[in-house]
Amino acid sequence: MSQPHHHTPTPTAVSAPGKVFLAGGYLVLDRGYTGLIFGLDARIHVAIEPIRTKSGVSLSEIIVRSPQFREATWEYGYRLTEAGGGIAVYGLRASHDSKQSKNPFIETTLTYALTYISTLQPDTPIAPSSISILADQAYYSNPGTPLSPTTTSPFLVFPTPLTSAHKTGLGSSAALVTSFTAALLSYYLPPSLFTLSSPSGKLILHNLAQAAHCAAQGKVGSGFDIASAVYGSCLYRRFTPSLLSALPSPGDSGFAGALAALVAGGTQWDTEIAQQKVKMPRGLRLVMCDVDCGSQTPGMVKQVLKWRAENAEDAERLWGEIQKGNDGFAEELTRLATEGEGVVEGAAGKYGKLAEILERNRVLIREMSVKSGVPIEPPQQTKLLDACKALDGVVGGVVPGAGGYDAIVLLVEDRDEVVERLRKFLDAWKGTAEEGEGVTIGKVGILGVREDMVGVRSEDPEGYKEWQAVGA
């Protein structure tokens, strides 16, 4: 018999990056194709510490707070279910007058992570803990204020409940699920069973976070955003969807064992994540622009897939060409990153091929837009991208991810004056409604983010102390 691991949890903190989906937004849904994703230096941080209880009081409780927002505290009880159904997590009301809004991402992630932890340490009770979630400013377009006049913390307080926060679309749910899962595993498991810094630890985290995130959003999604939250910038080929859809639900007989086997999963995970195929050349950077427009189209993906099913031949040709363009884009970035040292040409000469590839990709995306009737690169965004591209120092840009009116991403020379010129230009930008479209682009602002090649990482728990004291 192996000895039980005796592990005393100590304060732990982890962060994971947001993402921008630069190429392959619809292709990535199909295993035959890949997507090109860049991590961003806007991170979501999770800090976890033992719960402070009055002496003699024993609790089975985990408190989760988002101290930057009003009324953002969730209290959970948990217990082991029978027949291997895993750990059941249920909301506790702190008091009768507290408004407890459900948070499916937090609740699902807790359920999955605690279940996995309990399968590795069946004889170790899960100690109560207090968890704080903090997000970098770039995730929200709400104006925030520092916690105190003397603080050195980069996080801001927002005078609003979390439900009224305006998100900028950087992939906060995946960054949250990844950092939250990583914090729980690092906190509750001894280093002999899990360390974030090892390849096997990252693989465990990736598989578990994929399962939790997929369940929290209703068994949909290609998983690219979890992959980039764990590994940073990468080329991504999705896993076979049945891998997760076949998993029993929490509480069902055998859920815990099936989840542990899936996380340990070896060969059944057919995801391909190639970090070495994505590099950012020195001298270039990404700039994300938040477009204040608010014409969210949740059905865009469904509509594109319907068009593809009905026009298989045309769609396959188009997807094949887009895939070629995406591969060419990744290759040219890598070529510039590895060969470009010491090459001094005019920017137009040096980045000419890159600009050409971006343009060709946009032509194909617009063709897909028109044929599917989905505004992937709508005319308003075409105008904005073309105008930005004409500026000195801007190589090109795209409407990222599934497209639409929310954001654009630009590849520019990494010089302050280029970013400043772009900022001035965008401050003065006036969108016009296209005939029959009725959508006008409002303000366009540069988000304070850039690419980040690093995925999830451990942080110093000391840096979160003043936030953990808020409302505690």
The reply to whether 342 falls in a domain is yes
Global pTM? 0.90
Please count the residues of the chain: 472
Q: What is the mean pLDDT of the chain?
A: 87
The reply to whether 61 falls in a domain is yes
Instruction: Indicate if 404 and 302 belong to the same structural domain.
Output: yes
The reply to whether 201 falls in a domain is yes
Instruction: Indicate if 301 and 255 belong to the same structural domain.
Output: no
Instruction: Indicate if 132 and 267 belong to the same structural domain.
Output: yes
The reply to whether 451 falls in a domain is no
pLDDT at position 404: 86
Q: What is the pLDDT of residues 113-130, one digit of tens each?
A: 999 999 999 989 899 999
Instruction: Indicate if 307 and 263 belong to the same structural domain.
Output: no
Instruction: Indicate if 404 and 334 belong to the same structural domain.
Output: yes
How many domains does the chain fold into? 2
The reply to whether 452 falls in a domain is no
pLDDT at position 166: 80
pLDDT at position 384: 94
What is the span of the domain harbouring residue 157? 12-276+457-468
Instruction: Indicate if 206 and 128 belong to the same structural domain.
Output: yes
Instruction: Indicate if 155 and 105 belong to the same structural domain.
Output: yes
Instruction: Indicate if 52 and 165 belong to the same structural domain.
Output: yes
Instruction: Indicate if 379 and 310 belong to the same structural domain.
Output: yes
The reply to whether 254 falls in a domain is yes
The reply to whether 2 falls in a domain is no
Instruction: For the chain, list residues with pLDDT below 70.
Output: 1-5, 53-59, 93-101, 266-267, 293-298, 340-348, 431-439, 471-472
The reply to whether 4 falls in a domain is no
Question: What CATH number is associated with residue 438?
Answer: 3.30.70.890
Question: What CATH number is associated with residue 235?
Answer: 3.30.230.10
Instruction: Indicate if 171 and 299 belong to the same structural domain.
Output: no
Instruction: Indicate if 168 and 265 belong to the same structural domain.
Output: yes
pLDDT at position 2: 46
Q: What is the pLDDT of residues 260-298, one digit of tens each?
A: 999 998 667 889 888 877 889 999 999 999 887 654 555
Instruction: Indicate if 223 and 107 belong to the same structural domain.
Output: yes
pLDDT at position 285: 96
